[in-house]
Amino acid sequence: MDEIDVFKALGDPTRLKILECVKNKEKCVCEIVPFTKKSQPNVSQHLKILKNAGLIAERKEGTNILIRAAHKNIFKIIDTAKRIMNDTN
């Protein structure tokens, strides 16, 4: 993983929404799907990209897959990007 993979992963609104969903608490995929308003297969593809970029971690609990942010510092990057966009508008 390098910074290019991280920024590519952050370049999609659905992936940002997924990260927003798991920002404060580990969530089951069954909770992430309705939060994003996307289909389960679509969310799974986005989760794979986030995982490959090292932005999320997952663990299995029974039949559920629980997702969490792998690094809380990623939210500093997201928040900084939002501030930059607000300053330019």
Average pLDDT over residues 37-43: 97
Assigned architecture for domain 3-88: Orthogonal Bundle (1.10)
Q: Which of 26, 24, 30, 38 is nearest to 15 (CA)?
A: 38
Alpha carbon distances (Å) from 53 to 10, 38, 88: 9, 21, 28
Q: What is the pLDDT of residue 1?
A: 65
Domain chopping of the chain, boundaries: 3-88
Q: Tens digit of pLDDT for each residue in 44-84?
A: 999 999 999 999 999 999 999 999 999 999 999 999 998 99
